Amino acid sequence: MAGSAIGLGNFLRFPAKAAANGGGAFMIPYFISLLLIGLPLMWIEWTLGRYGGGFGHGTAPGIFHSISAKNRFIKYFGVIGIFGPLIIFIYYTYVESWSLAYSFFALTGKYAELSDQASLKSFLSGFQGIERNQFFQGIGAAYTFFLITFVLNIWVIYRGIRGGIERLCKWAMPLLFFCAIILVVRVLTLGAPSSLHPDWNISNGLGFLWNPDFSALKSAKVWLEAAGQILFTLSVGIGVILTYASYLKKDEDVVLSGVTAASTNEVAEVVLGGSIIIPAAFVFFGPTEIKTIATSGTFNLGFVTMPLVFGQMPWAEIFGFVWFFLLFLAGITSSVSLAQPVIAFMEDEFDINRKKAVWIFGIVSFIFCHAAIFFLKNGVVDELDFWGGTFFLVLFATIEVVLFSWVFGIDRAWDEMHKGAELRIPKIYKFIIKYVTPLFLFFILGMWFFQEWLPIIFLEKVPFVNQPYILATRIVLLLFFMALVFLVKISWDKKKLTKGTEN
Protein backbone atom coordinates (compact mmCIF):
# COMPACT_ATOMS: atom_id res chain seq x y z
CA MET A 1 0.00 0.00 0.00
CA ALA A 2 2.89 2.33 0.77
CA GLY A 3 4.10 1.65 -2.79
CA SER A 4 0.87 3.09 -4.09
CA ALA A 5 1.02 6.16 -1.85
CA ILE A 6 4.70 6.96 -2.43
CA GLY A 7 4.79 8.48 -5.88
CA LEU A 8 5.86 11.47 -7.93
CA GLY A 9 3.89 13.65 -5.50
CA ASN A 10 6.35 12.95 -2.68
CA PHE A 11 9.47 13.99 -4.54
CA LEU A 12 8.12 16.58 -7.02
CA ARG A 13 4.72 17.95 -5.99
CA PHE A 14 5.45 18.35 -2.27
CA PRO A 15 8.67 20.39 -2.67
CA ALA A 16 7.04 22.49 -5.41
CA LYS A 17 3.97 23.25 -3.26
CA ALA A 18 6.05 23.87 -0.14
CA ALA A 19 8.48 26.21 -1.91
CA ALA A 20 5.74 28.09 -3.78
CA ASN A 21 3.82 28.65 -0.52
CA GLY A 22 6.74 30.07 1.41
CA GLY A 23 8.51 26.98 2.77
CA GLY A 24 8.01 27.03 6.55
CA ALA A 25 4.68 28.79 6.07
CA PHE A 26 3.37 25.64 4.42
CA MET A 27 4.41 23.07 7.00
CA ILE A 28 2.00 23.99 9.83
CA PRO A 29 -1.20 23.72 7.72
CA TYR A 30 0.36 20.61 6.17
CA PHE A 31 0.75 18.79 9.50
CA ILE A 32 -2.64 19.96 10.77
CA SER A 33 -4.23 18.67 7.54
CA LEU A 34 -2.43 15.36 8.00
CA LEU A 35 -3.95 14.94 11.46
CA LEU A 36 -7.43 16.23 10.62
CA ILE A 37 -8.08 14.84 7.16
CA GLY A 38 -5.19 12.58 6.11
CA LEU A 39 -5.20 10.04 8.94
CA PRO A 40 -9.02 9.93 9.33
CA LEU A 41 -9.47 9.33 5.61
CA MET A 42 -6.83 6.61 5.66
CA TRP A 43 -8.77 4.76 8.39
CA ILE A 44 -12.09 5.42 6.64
CA GLU A 45 -10.89 3.99 3.31
CA TRP A 46 -9.22 0.96 4.88
CA THR A 47 -12.35 0.22 6.92
CA LEU A 48 -14.82 0.78 4.08
CA GLY A 49 -12.69 -1.32 1.72
CA ARG A 50 -12.48 -4.25 4.13
CA TYR A 51 -16.20 -3.97 4.91
CA GLY A 52 -17.20 -3.92 1.20
CA GLY A 53 -14.78 -6.77 0.46
CA GLY A 54 -16.81 -8.91 2.84
CA PHE A 55 -19.75 -8.53 0.44
CA GLY A 56 -17.62 -9.34 -2.61
CA HIS A 57 -17.20 -5.73 -3.72
CA GLY A 58 -13.74 -4.30 -4.39
CA THR A 59 -14.65 -0.89 -5.80
CA ALA A 60 -16.51 2.16 -4.57
CA PRO A 61 -19.94 1.58 -6.23
CA GLY A 62 -20.30 -1.85 -4.62
CA ILE A 63 -18.72 -0.77 -1.34
CA PHE A 64 -21.08 2.20 -1.01
CA HIS A 65 -24.00 -0.07 -1.91
CA SER A 66 -23.03 -2.44 0.87
CA ILE A 67 -23.19 0.43 3.39
CA SER A 68 -26.84 1.12 2.59
CA ALA A 69 -28.39 -1.38 0.18
CA LYS A 70 -31.80 0.31 0.55
CA ASN A 71 -30.56 3.48 -1.08
CA ARG A 72 -30.74 3.03 -4.86
CA PHE A 73 -28.53 6.00 -5.67
CA ILE A 74 -25.66 5.56 -3.23
CA LYS A 75 -23.70 3.31 -5.62
CA TYR A 76 -23.53 6.05 -8.25
CA PHE A 77 -21.39 8.23 -5.94
CA GLY A 78 -18.87 5.43 -6.18
CA VAL A 79 -18.38 5.99 -9.92
CA ILE A 80 -15.88 8.73 -8.99
CA GLY A 81 -13.75 6.05 -7.30
CA ILE A 82 -13.25 4.32 -10.66
CA PHE A 83 -13.25 7.39 -12.88
CA GLY A 84 -10.58 9.30 -10.86
CA PRO A 85 -7.81 6.69 -10.88
CA LEU A 86 -8.38 5.95 -14.56
CA ILE A 87 -8.00 9.65 -15.46
CA ILE A 88 -4.88 9.96 -13.32
CA PHE A 89 -3.40 6.80 -14.90
CA ILE A 90 -3.82 8.33 -18.38
CA TYR A 91 -1.44 11.25 -17.76
CA TYR A 92 0.59 9.82 -14.89
CA THR A 93 2.07 7.02 -17.02
CA TYR A 94 3.23 9.59 -19.54
CA VAL A 95 4.92 11.77 -16.91
CA GLU A 96 6.44 8.63 -15.40
CA SER A 97 7.93 7.79 -18.80
CA TRP A 98 9.73 11.16 -18.82
CA SER A 99 11.65 10.12 -15.71
CA LEU A 100 12.67 6.85 -17.37
CA ALA A 101 13.80 8.81 -20.43
CA TYR A 102 15.69 11.36 -18.35
CA SER A 103 17.46 8.65 -16.33
CA PHE A 104 18.67 7.30 -19.68
CA PHE A 105 19.64 10.81 -20.86
CA ALA A 106 21.52 11.41 -17.57
CA LEU A 107 23.60 8.25 -17.97
CA THR A 108 24.35 8.91 -21.64
CA GLY A 109 25.16 12.59 -20.98
CA LYS A 110 22.57 13.86 -23.48
CA TYR A 111 21.92 17.06 -21.54
CA ALA A 112 25.30 17.18 -19.77
CA GLU A 113 26.54 20.25 -21.63
CA LEU A 114 23.47 22.38 -20.89
CA SER A 115 24.20 24.77 -18.06
CA ASP A 116 21.32 27.24 -17.86
CA GLN A 117 17.56 27.19 -17.25
CA ALA A 118 16.68 28.34 -20.78
CA SER A 119 18.51 25.54 -22.60
CA LEU A 120 17.22 22.85 -20.24
CA LYS A 121 13.69 24.20 -20.67
CA SER A 122 14.18 24.04 -24.40
CA PHE A 123 15.51 20.47 -24.05
CA LEU A 124 12.36 19.50 -22.11
CA SER A 125 10.04 21.23 -24.61
CA GLY A 126 11.81 19.49 -27.51
CA PHE A 127 11.50 16.13 -25.78
CA GLN A 128 7.79 16.68 -25.08
CA GLY A 129 7.22 17.58 -28.72
CA ILE A 130 6.16 21.12 -27.85
CA GLU A 131 8.84 22.55 -30.14
CA ARG A 132 11.31 21.24 -32.72
CA ASN A 133 14.84 22.26 -31.79
CA GLN A 134 18.47 21.20 -31.93
CA PHE A 135 17.84 18.55 -29.26
CA PHE A 136 14.75 16.81 -30.63
CA GLN A 137 13.16 16.85 -34.07
CA GLY A 138 9.85 15.37 -32.96
CA ILE A 139 8.04 13.42 -30.29
CA GLY A 140 9.63 10.06 -31.28
CA ALA A 141 11.88 9.74 -28.22
CA ALA A 142 9.10 10.64 -25.79
CA TYR A 143 6.73 8.21 -27.52
CA THR A 144 9.27 5.37 -27.40
CA PHE A 145 9.82 5.82 -23.67
CA PHE A 146 6.07 6.07 -23.16
CA LEU A 147 5.58 2.73 -24.95
CA ILE A 148 8.25 1.07 -22.80
CA THR A 149 6.69 2.46 -19.61
CA PHE A 150 3.15 1.59 -20.65
CA VAL A 151 4.00 -2.00 -21.60
CA LEU A 152 5.93 -2.41 -18.34
CA ASN A 153 2.91 -1.18 -16.38
CA ILE A 154 0.48 -3.47 -18.16
CA TRP A 155 2.85 -6.43 -17.81
CA VAL A 156 3.08 -5.93 -14.02
CA ILE A 157 -0.70 -5.47 -13.75
CA TYR A 158 -1.30 -8.53 -15.96
CA ARG A 159 0.76 -10.71 -13.63
CA GLY A 160 -1.71 -9.97 -10.84
CA ILE A 161 -1.53 -8.40 -7.40
CA ARG A 162 0.67 -11.02 -5.74
CA GLY A 163 2.79 -12.03 -8.74
CA GLY A 164 3.04 -8.56 -10.28
CA ILE A 165 2.30 -5.52 -8.10
CA GLU A 166 3.51 -6.97 -4.78
CA ARG A 167 6.63 -8.43 -6.37
CA LEU A 168 7.43 -5.10 -8.04
CA CYS A 169 6.99 -3.19 -4.76
CA LYS A 170 9.13 -5.72 -2.87
CA TRP A 171 12.25 -4.77 -4.79
CA ALA A 172 11.28 -1.28 -6.00
CA MET A 173 10.48 0.20 -2.58
CA PRO A 174 13.83 -0.63 -0.89
CA LEU A 175 15.61 0.53 -4.05
CA LEU A 176 13.60 3.77 -4.03
CA PHE A 177 14.52 4.45 -0.38
CA PHE A 178 18.14 3.59 -1.15
CA CYS A 179 18.24 6.07 -4.08
CA ALA A 180 16.55 8.75 -1.96
CA ILE A 181 18.99 8.28 0.94
CA ILE A 182 21.97 8.59 -1.44
CA LEU A 183 20.57 11.88 -2.74
CA VAL A 184 19.72 13.22 0.74
CA VAL A 185 23.25 12.50 1.97
CA ARG A 186 24.70 14.20 -1.13
CA VAL A 187 22.48 17.26 -0.76
CA LEU A 188 22.99 17.62 3.01
CA THR A 189 26.77 17.57 2.53
CA LEU A 190 26.75 20.34 -0.08
CA GLY A 191 27.71 23.05 2.43
CA ALA A 192 27.87 26.47 0.73
CA PRO A 193 29.04 25.80 -2.85
CA SER A 194 29.05 29.46 -3.95
CA SER A 195 31.78 31.66 -2.43
CA LEU A 196 29.87 34.72 -3.71
CA HIS A 197 26.83 33.79 -1.63
CA PRO A 198 27.94 32.24 1.68
CA ASP A 199 24.33 32.58 2.94
CA TRP A 200 23.16 30.16 0.28
CA ASN A 201 24.13 27.17 2.36
CA ILE A 202 22.47 23.91 3.27
CA SER A 203 21.60 25.02 6.80
CA ASN A 204 19.66 28.01 5.49
CA GLY A 205 18.18 25.81 2.75
CA LEU A 206 16.68 23.65 5.50
CA GLY A 207 15.60 26.86 7.23
CA PHE A 208 13.60 27.81 4.13
CA LEU A 209 11.42 24.74 4.68
CA TRP A 210 11.53 24.44 8.44
CA ASN A 211 11.47 27.98 9.90
CA PRO A 212 7.82 28.07 11.01
CA ASP A 213 5.77 31.03 9.85
CA PHE A 214 2.62 31.34 11.93
CA SER A 215 1.28 34.27 9.87
CA ALA A 216 0.53 31.79 7.07
CA LEU A 217 -2.24 30.26 9.19
CA LYS A 218 -4.42 33.20 8.08
CA SER A 219 -4.03 32.41 4.37
CA ALA A 220 -6.87 30.31 2.91
CA LYS A 221 -4.77 29.54 -0.16
CA VAL A 222 -1.99 27.94 1.87
CA TRP A 223 -4.54 25.80 3.75
CA LEU A 224 -6.12 24.68 0.47
CA GLU A 225 -2.77 23.78 -1.04
CA ALA A 226 -1.61 21.95 2.08
CA ALA A 227 -4.85 19.96 2.43
CA GLY A 228 -4.83 19.12 -1.29
CA GLN A 229 -1.26 17.87 -1.01
CA ILE A 230 -2.18 15.62 1.93
CA LEU A 231 -5.02 14.01 -0.04
CA PHE A 232 -2.85 13.61 -3.13
CA THR A 233 0.19 12.21 -1.34
CA LEU A 234 -1.70 9.69 0.80
CA SER A 235 -3.69 8.58 -2.26
CA VAL A 236 -6.92 9.06 -0.32
CA GLY A 237 -10.02 10.19 -2.20
CA ILE A 238 -8.89 8.24 -5.25
CA GLY A 239 -10.40 4.80 -4.67
CA VAL A 240 -7.20 2.74 -4.77
CA ILE A 241 -7.05 2.07 -1.00
CA LEU A 242 -10.68 0.89 -1.05
CA THR A 243 -9.78 -1.76 -3.61
CA TYR A 244 -6.64 -2.97 -1.84
CA ALA A 245 -8.39 -3.06 1.53
CA SER A 246 -11.23 -5.13 0.04
CA TYR A 247 -8.79 -8.07 -0.21
CA LEU A 248 -8.17 -8.03 3.57
CA LYS A 249 -9.60 -10.64 5.92
CA LYS A 250 -12.41 -9.57 8.28
CA ASP A 251 -10.11 -9.40 11.32
CA GLU A 252 -7.03 -7.81 9.76
CA ASP A 253 -5.86 -4.70 11.58
CA VAL A 254 -6.92 -1.68 9.47
CA VAL A 255 -5.96 0.84 12.16
CA LEU A 256 -2.35 -0.30 12.13
CA SER A 257 -2.32 -0.69 8.33
CA GLY A 258 -3.62 2.87 7.87
CA VAL A 259 -1.08 4.48 10.22
CA THR A 260 1.79 2.40 8.79
CA ALA A 261 0.99 3.38 5.20
CA ALA A 262 0.57 7.06 6.17
CA SER A 263 3.74 7.27 8.25
CA THR A 264 5.88 5.46 5.65
CA ASN A 265 4.57 7.87 3.04
CA GLU A 266 5.46 10.83 5.30
CA VAL A 267 9.01 9.52 5.76
CA ALA A 268 9.37 9.48 1.97
CA GLU A 269 7.77 12.91 1.58
CA VAL A 270 8.87 15.04 4.54
CA VAL A 271 12.15 13.43 5.61
CA LEU A 272 13.46 12.42 2.16
CA GLY A 273 11.44 14.42 -0.41
CA GLY A 274 11.82 17.60 1.67
CA SER A 275 15.59 17.17 1.90
CA ILE A 276 16.42 16.89 -1.79
CA ILE A 277 14.97 19.50 -4.17
CA ILE A 278 14.40 22.44 -1.82
CA PRO A 279 17.76 22.58 0.00
CA ALA A 280 19.63 21.72 -3.24
CA ALA A 281 17.83 24.40 -5.27
CA PHE A 282 18.29 26.87 -2.39
CA VAL A 283 22.08 26.56 -2.27
CA PHE A 284 22.42 26.99 -6.04
CA PHE A 285 19.70 29.57 -6.75
CA GLY A 286 19.02 31.38 -3.46
CA PRO A 287 15.81 32.17 -1.56
CA THR A 288 14.17 34.48 -4.13
CA GLU A 289 14.82 32.44 -7.25
CA ILE A 290 13.63 29.20 -5.62
CA LYS A 291 10.09 30.65 -5.22
CA THR A 292 10.04 31.74 -8.88
CA ILE A 293 11.21 28.29 -9.99
CA ALA A 294 8.61 26.55 -7.81
CA THR A 295 5.74 28.69 -9.06
CA SER A 296 6.77 28.05 -12.67
CA GLY A 297 5.56 24.45 -12.30
CA THR A 298 6.30 21.11 -10.73
CA PHE A 299 7.90 19.72 -13.87
CA ASN A 300 10.33 22.63 -14.13
CA LEU A 301 11.59 21.91 -10.66
CA GLY A 302 12.17 18.21 -11.39
CA PHE A 303 13.22 18.22 -15.04
CA VAL A 304 14.91 21.60 -15.44
CA THR A 305 16.24 22.71 -12.07
CA MET A 306 17.47 19.36 -10.78
CA PRO A 307 19.61 18.52 -13.84
CA LEU A 308 21.17 21.97 -13.39
CA VAL A 309 21.82 21.34 -9.71
CA PHE A 310 23.40 17.94 -10.37
CA GLY A 311 25.35 19.44 -13.28
CA GLN A 312 27.25 21.53 -10.74
CA MET A 313 28.33 18.51 -8.69
CA PRO A 314 31.01 15.93 -9.36
CA TRP A 315 29.55 12.70 -10.79
CA ALA A 316 26.64 14.61 -12.31
CA GLU A 317 25.65 11.67 -14.54
CA ILE A 318 25.37 9.26 -11.63
CA PHE A 319 23.41 11.61 -9.38
CA GLY A 320 21.18 12.67 -12.30
CA PHE A 321 20.47 9.02 -13.04
CA VAL A 322 19.74 8.21 -9.39
CA TRP A 323 17.32 11.18 -9.19
CA PHE A 324 15.33 10.30 -12.32
CA PHE A 325 15.38 6.58 -11.61
CA LEU A 326 14.04 7.37 -8.13
CA LEU A 327 11.18 9.30 -9.77
CA PHE A 328 10.54 6.41 -12.13
CA LEU A 329 10.36 3.88 -9.29
CA ALA A 330 8.07 6.17 -7.31
CA GLY A 331 5.91 6.59 -10.42
CA ILE A 332 5.58 2.95 -11.44
CA THR A 333 4.74 1.66 -7.95
CA SER A 334 1.84 4.16 -7.95
CA SER A 335 0.63 3.80 -11.53
CA VAL A 336 0.20 0.02 -11.34
CA SER A 337 -2.08 0.62 -8.35
CA LEU A 338 -4.14 3.23 -10.20
CA ALA A 339 -5.25 0.54 -12.63
CA GLN A 340 -6.54 -1.71 -9.88
CA PRO A 341 -9.99 -0.13 -9.22
CA VAL A 342 -11.02 -0.31 -12.91
CA ILE A 343 -9.86 -3.92 -13.20
CA ALA A 344 -11.50 -4.92 -9.92
CA PHE A 345 -14.74 -3.27 -11.11
CA MET A 346 -14.78 -5.44 -14.23
CA GLU A 347 -13.92 -8.56 -12.21
CA ASP A 348 -16.40 -8.03 -9.36
CA GLU A 349 -19.38 -6.49 -11.10
CA PHE A 350 -19.17 -8.12 -14.55
CA ASP A 351 -17.45 -11.42 -13.72
CA ILE A 352 -14.77 -10.75 -16.33
CA ASN A 353 -11.59 -12.70 -15.59
CA ARG A 354 -8.52 -10.70 -14.59
CA LYS A 355 -6.50 -11.25 -17.76
CA LYS A 356 -9.37 -10.17 -19.99
CA ALA A 357 -10.03 -7.17 -17.72
CA VAL A 358 -6.37 -6.12 -17.97
CA TRP A 359 -6.57 -6.33 -21.77
CA ILE A 360 -9.68 -4.13 -21.85
CA PHE A 361 -8.09 -1.69 -19.44
CA GLY A 362 -4.86 -1.67 -21.45
CA ILE A 363 -6.57 -0.96 -24.78
CA VAL A 364 -8.88 1.78 -23.43
CA SER A 365 -6.18 3.55 -21.41
CA PHE A 366 -3.66 3.25 -24.27
CA ILE A 367 -6.05 5.06 -26.62
CA PHE A 368 -6.75 7.83 -24.11
CA CYS A 369 -3.07 8.28 -23.18
CA HIS A 370 -2.57 9.70 -26.67
CA ALA A 371 -4.55 12.79 -25.70
CA ALA A 372 -2.00 13.45 -22.93
CA ILE A 373 0.94 12.82 -25.27
CA PHE A 374 -0.10 14.78 -28.33
CA PHE A 375 -2.06 17.62 -26.70
CA LEU A 376 0.26 18.31 -23.77
CA LYS A 377 1.12 21.71 -25.22
CA ASN A 378 -2.58 22.56 -25.34
CA GLY A 379 -2.98 22.08 -21.60
CA VAL A 380 -4.72 18.67 -21.71
CA VAL A 381 -2.47 17.13 -19.00
CA ASP A 382 -3.16 20.06 -16.66
CA GLU A 383 -6.87 19.70 -17.34
CA LEU A 384 -6.81 15.95 -16.59
CA ASP A 385 -4.76 16.63 -13.46
CA PHE A 386 -7.23 19.24 -12.30
CA TRP A 387 -10.29 16.99 -12.59
CA GLY A 388 -8.75 13.58 -11.86
CA GLY A 389 -6.01 14.57 -9.43
CA THR A 390 -7.51 17.57 -7.65
CA PHE A 391 -11.23 18.29 -7.86
CA PHE A 392 -12.65 14.75 -7.84
CA LEU A 393 -10.15 13.79 -5.15
CA VAL A 394 -11.56 16.35 -2.71
CA LEU A 395 -15.15 15.63 -3.79
CA PHE A 396 -14.77 11.87 -3.39
CA ALA A 397 -13.05 12.25 -0.01
CA THR A 398 -15.96 14.43 1.15
CA ILE A 399 -18.51 11.87 -0.04
CA GLU A 400 -16.63 9.05 1.70
CA VAL A 401 -16.40 10.78 5.06
CA VAL A 402 -20.09 11.78 4.99
CA LEU A 403 -21.21 8.26 4.05
CA PHE A 404 -18.92 6.74 6.66
CA SER A 405 -19.81 8.86 9.65
CA TRP A 406 -23.38 9.88 8.83
CA VAL A 407 -24.91 7.14 6.65
CA PHE A 408 -23.01 4.12 8.00
CA GLY A 409 -23.16 5.84 11.39
CA ILE A 410 -20.18 6.85 13.49
CA ASP A 411 -20.80 4.30 16.29
CA ARG A 412 -21.11 1.39 13.86
CA ALA A 413 -18.17 2.76 11.87
CA TRP A 414 -16.03 3.08 15.00
CA ASP A 415 -16.72 -0.56 15.96
CA GLU A 416 -16.05 -1.74 12.39
CA MET A 417 -12.77 0.18 12.35
CA HIS A 418 -11.57 -1.51 15.53
CA LYS A 419 -12.43 -5.08 14.51
CA GLY A 420 -9.19 -7.05 14.82
CA ALA A 421 -7.27 -3.90 15.80
CA GLU A 422 -4.67 -4.08 18.55
CA LEU A 423 -4.29 -0.31 18.65
CA ARG A 424 -7.13 1.90 19.83
CA ILE A 425 -7.56 5.16 17.96
CA PRO A 426 -7.75 8.08 20.44
CA LYS A 427 -11.42 8.80 21.23
CA ILE A 428 -11.07 12.40 20.06
CA TYR A 429 -10.96 11.02 16.51
CA LYS A 430 -14.60 9.92 16.81
CA PHE A 431 -15.48 13.61 17.06
CA ILE A 432 -12.93 14.59 14.40
CA ILE A 433 -14.21 12.02 11.87
CA LYS A 434 -17.84 12.96 12.47
CA TYR A 435 -17.53 16.74 12.47
CA VAL A 436 -14.07 18.17 11.82
CA THR A 437 -13.00 16.17 8.75
CA PRO A 438 -16.26 16.71 6.81
CA LEU A 439 -16.34 20.40 7.75
CA PHE A 440 -12.72 20.83 6.74
CA LEU A 441 -13.42 19.17 3.37
CA PHE A 442 -16.60 21.19 2.85
CA PHE A 443 -14.57 24.32 3.61
CA ILE A 444 -12.02 23.35 0.92
CA LEU A 445 -14.77 22.66 -1.62
CA GLY A 446 -16.61 25.85 -0.64
CA MET A 447 -13.47 27.96 -0.96
CA TRP A 448 -12.80 26.39 -4.33
CA PHE A 449 -16.31 27.22 -5.56
CA PHE A 450 -16.01 30.73 -4.17
CA GLN A 451 -12.58 31.49 -5.63
CA GLU A 452 -12.20 29.36 -8.73
CA TRP A 453 -15.50 27.99 -9.99
CA LEU A 454 -16.44 30.65 -12.54
CA PRO A 455 -12.96 31.27 -14.02
CA ILE A 456 -12.45 27.51 -14.46
CA ILE A 457 -15.84 26.75 -15.94
CA PHE A 458 -15.64 29.68 -18.37
CA LEU A 459 -12.00 28.89 -19.27
CA GLU A 460 -10.91 32.40 -18.24
CA LYS A 461 -7.31 31.37 -17.59
CA VAL A 462 -7.02 29.21 -20.73
CA PRO A 463 -5.38 30.84 -23.78
CA PHE A 464 -7.83 31.23 -26.66
CA VAL A 465 -6.00 28.77 -28.94
CA ASN A 466 -6.21 26.02 -26.30
CA GLN A 467 -9.90 26.46 -25.52
CA PRO A 468 -11.20 23.96 -28.12
CA TYR A 469 -8.82 21.29 -26.76
CA ILE A 470 -9.89 21.89 -23.18
CA LEU A 471 -13.56 21.87 -24.12
CA ALA A 472 -13.09 18.63 -26.07
CA THR A 473 -11.29 17.10 -23.06
CA ARG A 474 -14.17 18.05 -20.78
CA ILE A 475 -16.75 16.58 -23.17
CA VAL A 476 -14.80 13.31 -23.41
CA LEU A 477 -14.46 13.19 -19.62
CA LEU A 478 -18.18 13.78 -19.20
CA LEU A 479 -19.02 11.03 -21.71
CA PHE A 480 -16.60 8.73 -19.95
CA PHE A 481 -18.20 9.45 -16.60
CA MET A 482 -21.68 8.85 -18.00
CA ALA A 483 -20.52 5.57 -19.56
CA LEU A 484 -19.29 4.42 -16.13
CA VAL A 485 -22.62 5.42 -14.53
CA PHE A 486 -24.37 3.39 -17.23
CA LEU A 487 -22.10 0.38 -16.58
CA VAL A 488 -22.90 0.51 -12.86
CA LYS A 489 -26.62 0.57 -13.72
CA ILE A 490 -26.31 -2.35 -16.13
CA SER A 491 -24.35 -4.38 -13.59
CA TRP A 492 -26.93 -3.90 -10.83
CA ASP A 493 -29.86 -4.49 -13.21
CA LYS A 494 -28.23 -7.73 -14.28
CA LYS A 495 -27.78 -8.79 -10.66
CA LYS A 496 -31.43 -8.01 -9.95
CA LEU A 497 -32.46 -10.21 -12.85
CA THR A 498 -30.24 -13.12 -11.89
CA LYS A 499 -30.88 -13.05 -8.16
CA GLY A 500 -34.43 -11.82 -8.10
CA THR A 501 -33.58 -9.36 -5.33
CA GLU A 502 -30.88 -6.72 -5.01
CA ASN A 503 -27.54 -8.00 -3.75
Partner 1 sequence: MKFEGWIFLILSWGLILGLTILCFQRVFLNKNKEDEK
Q: Quick one: 264 or 467, whose CB is closer to partner 1?
A: 264
Distance CA 269, CA 76 (A): 34
Total residues interacting with partner 1, rule: CB under 8 A: 26
What is the C-alpha R_g of the chain? 22
Binding mask 416-455 for partner 1 (x = CB under 8 A): ------xx--------------------------------
Contacts of range 203-207, beta carbons closer than 8 Å, 24 or more positions apart: 204/282, 204/287, 205/278, 205/279, 205/280, 205/281, 205/282, 205/283, 206/275, 206/279, 207/24
Instruction: Give yes or no for residue 193 binding partner 1 (CB under 8 A).
Output: no
DSSP secondary structure string for all residues of 58-79: -SHHHHHHHH-TT-SSHHHHTT
Q: Quick one: 241 or 399, whose CB is closer to partner 1?
A: 241
Instruction: Give yes or no for residue 24 binding partner 1 (CB under 8 A).
Output: yes
Question: Cβ(59)–Cβ(344) under 8 Å?
Answer: yes
Q: How far is the CB of 64 from partner 1 (least distance, A)?
A: 29
**Contact region for partner 1 (CB under 8 A) — 154-162, 197-205, 354-362, 493-501?**
197-205
- Residue 350 backbone class (left: φ over 0; alpha: ψ -120 to 50; beta: rest): alpha
Number of neighbouring beta carbons within 10 Å of residue 447:
15
What single letter denotes the amino acid at residue 483?
A: A
Strands (E) in 8-83, as ranges, are none
Binding mask 237-276 for partner 1 (x = CB under 8 A): ----------------x--x--xx--xx-xx--xx-----
Angle of helix 117-128 versus helix 80-108 axis, rounded to 10: 120
Binding mask 202-231 for partner 1 (x = CB under 8 A): -xx-xxxxxxx-------------------
Distance CA 327, CA 7 (A): 8
Say which residues have a Cβ less than 8 Å from residue 64's Cβ, sequence separation at least 6.
52, 74, 75, 77, 78, 403
Q: How far is the CB of 203 from partner 1 (least distance, A)?
A: 5
Q: How far is the CB of 47 from partner 1 (least distance, A)?
A: 17
Q: How far is the CB of 272 from partner 1 (least distance, A)?
A: 10
* Residue selected from 27, 60, 168, 477 as contacting partner 1 according to rule CB under 8 A: 27
Q: How far is the CB of 34 from partner 1 (least distance, A)?
A: 10
Instruction: Give yes or no for residue 31 binding partner 1 (CB under 8 A).
Output: yes
Q: How far is the CB of 420 from partner 1 (least distance, A)?
A: 10
Site for partner 1, rule CB under 8 A = 24, 27, 31, 199, 203-204, 206-212, 253, 256, 259-260, 263-264, 266-267, 270-271, 287, 422-423
